[in-house]
Amino acid sequence: MRLLKRLLDRRDAPEAAAPEPVLVNAYATLTDLPPPDLPHRLLGARDRSDPALAEHLQGFVGYVMSRGDGQMTATRYYVWRHLQRVRHHVSFEIDEAELGRIEPWAKAANALLFLPDGSVRAPDGAIVIDAAGEGDAAAAIPYPEDAVARRTRTRAALGDAVLQPPASMAPALGEGELVLRGPGEVLQRALGLLYVAARAHARATGLPAIPAGQEEHNPVGAAALTPQEQAFVTGEGGDADAAAGLTWRYEAANTLLWALGIAGAEIDDSGEMADVDRLWASVAPLARGSGGQELRLRPAGDILEALDRAWLEHWIVRQARQKEVEPGRINGDVVMERHVALNWLTQFQNDPGVAWDDTDTPT
């Protein structure tokens, strides 16, 4: 009954007054919401198919960020990230006597709770952020169990890294939160990345573009360019540094093709660059529009393992550059491209449906 004790102090209320039901707003990140197995009166429920939910969540983020002094803290940051992942918003009333029954459902739904006192609460009722911007340091923002277990494995695999990410760094996604791009969209994006990387390499070196960067050999990729990529490809001359940087898009393409199970695409070694010739040989027929209909993405767990590793390795790379030390066996440019590709694929740390050109990779 911790939630009941923390919610409202009614010691000064008249003894004869009947308790009023408590309004609860729950914000769950799972794509399939478990039914609320508790006595309640449902007031409303919506998911991402309702365009008003995105606007509501933006407003809620603004509320969280405006509490107290409005300064960004780790707690506010992770509440923001939770709200960004929300798939379901449920509003209901529940009698005070039943408040203790919310916790198991909220944990199963991976939900944060918003209560009438203006507080954002963990499933067990602990105050994450109250109306004044304060909170309980022991309050735990919820994460799916498989995401937490995956983070433990990732940390063990990176145990010999020169720098170690902070213990407070949250895990990535759980399988129940994951919404992947479709295989067809992923293939088009990968071929577009191969196309722009080949064109960038040609511009940076003055050599002819390999077939991956030629429209007659890669028409699917040429048609899949983003606005920024199109501007680069059609531009005259251009910044040599930009051309050199876009050459690394081979690594992002390699990551997406790995996610599709393409032979020749490997991401096991974070210090090894993709074999572009082998990669192109594996996808040349697909680049001409042949056979892509049979492609399927790897199992969700495999993709999430790669995502969690790329996120932590990118943190190591950025910290190593700030501290002017070597990141060990990690190739920073390779890891950066893998991170952006996996964030786009899983829509992690970004709003749902984010465009490639707008995909962020915060660490």
Residues 6+ apart with CB under 8 A from 88: 26, 27, 28, 30, 33, 45, 46, 47, 109
Q: In this predicted model, which residue has the larger pLDDT, 168 or 147?
A: 147
Structure tokens at 177: 């939160």
pLDDT at 13 over 50: no
pLDDT for 1: 38
Q: Please write the tens of the pLDDT for every residue from 242-283.
A: 899 999 999 999 999 999 999 999 999 999 999 999 999 999
**Please, which pLDDT band fits residue 176 given cuts at 50, 70 and 90?**
very high
> Three-state SS for 250?
helix
What CA–CA distance (Å, rounded) separates 304 from 190? 18
pLDDT for 230: 95
The set of long-range contacts for 318-326, using a CB threshold of 8 Å and a minimum separation of 24, is 318/363, 319/163, 320/162, 320/163, 323/163, 325/162, 325/163, 326/162
Percent residues over pLDDT 90 in the chain: 87
pLDDT for 237: 60
**Please, which pLDDT band fits residue 5 given cuts at 50, 70 and 90?**
very low
Instruction: Report yes or no: 136 and 17 within 8 Å, Cβ to Cβ.
Output: no
Among 65-69, 112-116, 197-201, 239-243, which is the least confidently predicted range? 239-243
> Three-state SS for 186?
helix
pLDDT at 8 over 60: no
pLDDT at 89 over 80: yes
HEC letters along 15-46? CCCCCCCEEEEEEECCCCCCCCCCCCEEEEEE
25 φ, ψ to 5°? -110, 125
Q: What is 271-318 written as a DSSP string?
A: T----HHHHHHHHHHHHTT-SGGG--PPPHHHHHHHHHHHHHHHHHHH
What CA–CA distance (Å, rounded) separates 358 from 361? 10
2 φ, ψ to 5°? -60, -35
pLDDT for 293: 83
Q: What is 106-142 written as a DSSP string?
A: HHHHTEEEE-TTS-EE-TTS-EEE-TTS---TT----
Q: Please write the tens of the pLDDT for every residue from 331-362.
A: 999 999 999 999 999 999 999 999 999 999 99
Q: Is 362 exposed, middle or buried (0-12, 13-18, 19+ CB in 10 A)?
A: middle
pLDDT at 52 over 90: yes
pLDDT for 185: 97
pLDDT for 18: 64
Number of alpha carbons in the 13 Å side-chain half-sphere of residue 290:
7
Tokens 């944060």 sit on residue: 112
Residues 297-320 have a mean pLDDT of 97
Residues 92-101 have a mean pLDDT of 92
What CA–CA distance (Å, rounded) separates 210 from 284? 12
Return the number of other C-beta atoms located less than 10 Å from residue 70's C-beta: 10
Tokens 């309980």 sit on residue: 136
pLDDT at 96 over 70: yes
Average pLDDT score over the chain: 93
Residues 88-101 have a mean pLDDT of 94
pLDDT for 291: 78
Residues 6+ apart with CB under 8 A from 81: 170, 349
Q: Is 90 exposed, middle or buried (0-12, 13-18, 19+ CB in 10 A)?
A: buried
pLDDT at 168 over 80: yes
The closest alpha carbon to 33, from 100, 110, 85, belongs to 110
